[in-house]
Amino acid sequence: MMTLVIVLAVLPLATTLAAIAGANARLAGYAAVAAACGSLALSIRLVFWIGDHHVLSALSGFIYVDGLSAFFLFTVAVVVLLSSLGSAAYLRAQESSGHLNSLQVRIYFGFFGAFAALMLASLGTGNLGMLFVLIEASTLASAALVGLEAQSRSLEAAWKYIIISSLGVTIALVGTMFLFYSGTGLPLTDNLRLTWPYLFQHASELAHPAVKLAFLLAVVGYGTKVGLAPMHTWLPDAHSEAPSPTSAMLSAALLNTGMYAIIRFLAIARIGLGTHYVQVVMLSFGFASVLVGALFLVTTTNFKRLFAYSSVEHMGIIAIALGFGGQLGLYGAMLHTLNHAIGKAVLFLASGDVVLAYRTREARKVHGLLTTLPLSGTVLMLATFSILGSPPFGLFLSELTIVRAGFADGGLWLPLALLLLLVIAFVAFARRTMPMIVGEPREQSGVRQPYATGEQRLLAALPIVAGIGASLVLGLWIPTGLHTMILRSIGALT
């Protein structure tokens, strides 16, 4: 099974090799899709194996997979597959229209494969130092995708992303060092002191002041990758300037990888320090993020930036769920992670069709998508309802679970405050997106069908139709396998 984990993480590099070999957008796109299918299949196989054996640990903890890792590996693998399908269509359309040259296409697929591989690898290690290295490397790989178009705004967004994210992850490294320092009085066995299983097992014996500082620095540092306020400032620029399939990867996969790292530190801090300190930290950053996200949704006119601020809001909701804690709060956090990943991937991929057709990211310049782009417009409308937490989509169920966790925690004002912020976000988001979708299209020059061939249209339609279908299913029914997987992910933390 150790080999399975390695192959799962390395498989997306087939896309990188295809790009290095000079494959065009069509061949590189199919290589990306095939590699993503393989990674998803292996992640599902790993989920079943973990269900029987609980933990996989090898190479002194450098490879470590438990229920939590398996859940996040599955979630990220789903997003990689959806984004690979979207990339196969989007990059071919950009290449055929002359907006990207062959070198840019090869750069895209080369770094796309590396980006996916690094994220999957970070979820399969138990060494906190290696976790830092892999997440920082994913920053560099994804930055090349953000600046792919080589325009002044995209290059500025890429540099801003590198600087802020690298600074954040460096802060997380300092937090990791303090966590290592907190265990200096413990017996050292096989150089395992920097591995999560060892620290989790000895969490009650760690020095409390060092653990407090380590957890706070980890939340600030990895929270920068997650987009928690006030460390979120890179996120709107990067998401709005990157190619839409990259935006899907950033919002639906990268942010979850950062949250995974925070959860690892949270599990240690909760045992070592008790629940109060952890709750205060997570609820503070969570509510700040939901508030900032909701307020910027009111003023933002660029629809890709709008979706980015929605990600800030939803990452805040997950942080709040972790702050509420308990079985219900953790269950809601995991369910929301998966629902948001699928819903936001669909939203960004559908928005890519709009960008290709209208050559704009301004919401006020787009009208009547149901008429001009019937499939993309319909999916965008459904994805809007999904991401806003409307029934019968999955995010409604996960948000309801999180609010219930808040009331179960004994509070009244915090869950009510969360509900108020969700209402503000709902109105602000719908106010921008619905005029794009409904009504009569205005006379606009230059609007065209985004894809030239039936093959491209099929590749573009597959991820958004499958994704919105999954969001609908998860709002009506949680499969037994998924329920069990979430319970195992929670069990790994207790």
Mean confidence (pLDDT) of the chain: 92
Residues with Cβ within 8 Å of residue 9, at least 6 apart in sequence? 39, 117, 120, 121, 124
**Chain centroid offset of residue 31 CA:** 22
Q: Is residue 185 scored above 70 in pLDDT? A: no
Which pLDDT score, from 0 to 100, does residue 433 have?
93
Q: Is residue 447 scored above 80 in pLDDT? A: no
What token pair was written down for 213?
Answer: 């500082």
Query: What average pLDDT does range 408-425 have in this prediction?
Result: 91
Match 């590996």 to its residue by tokens. 73
Provide the percentage of residues in the chain whose pLDDT is more than 90.
76
Which pLDDT score, from 0 to 100, does residue 200 have?
92
User: In the structure, how many helices (H) and strands (E) does the chain have?
Assistant: 21, 2
Which pLDDT score, from 0 to 100, does residue 51 have?
84
Radius of gyration of the chain (CA): 21
Q: Partners of 63 in the beta sheet? A: 58
Provide the percentage of residues in the chain whose pLDDT is more than 70.
97
Cα–Cα distance, 244 to 224 (Å, whole number): 21
Query: What average pLDDT does range 406-412 have in this prediction?
Result: 85
What token pair was written down for 19?
Answer: 């790009």
| Helix or strand (DSSP H, E) at 63 | strand 63-65
What token pair was written down for 10?
Answer: 């390395």
Flag the least confident range among 49-53, 181-185, 225-229, 456-460: 181-185
Residue 151 — pLDDT band, cuts 50, 70, 90? confident
Q: Give the phi and the psi of residue 440 in degrees, each rounded to 5.
A: -85, 135
Cα–Cα distance, 247 to 83 (Å, whole number): 9
Flag the least confident range among 7-11, 151-155, 237-241, 442-446: 442-446
Which pLDDT score, from 0 to 100, does residue 475 have?
94
Which pLDDT score, from 0 to 100, does residue 192 have?
62
Residue 77 — pLDDT band, cuts 50, 70, 90? very high
Name the burial class of residue 295, with classes exposed (0-12), middle (13-18) and buried (19+) by CB atoms within 10 angstroms of its CB. middle
Q: Is 453 helix (H, G, I), strand (E, B) or coil?
A: coil
Contact (Cβ atoms closer than 8 angstroms) between residue 47 and residue 74: yes
CA distances from 216 to 26, 149, 303 (A): 45, 37, 33
Residue 450 — pLDDT band, cuts 50, 70, 90? confident
- pLDDT per residue as tens digits for the range 291-350: 999 999 999 999 999 999 999 999 999 999 999 999 999 999 999 999 999 999 999 999
Greatest Cα-to-Cα distance within the chain, rounded to the nearest angstrom: 73
Contact (Cβ atoms closer than 8 angstroms) between residue 161 and residue 200: no
Flag the least confident range among 8-17, 72-81, 315-324: 8-17
- pLDDT per residue as tens digits for the range 359-396: 889 988 898 899 899 999 999 999 999 999 999 999 99
What token pair was written down for 448?
Answer: 């065209």
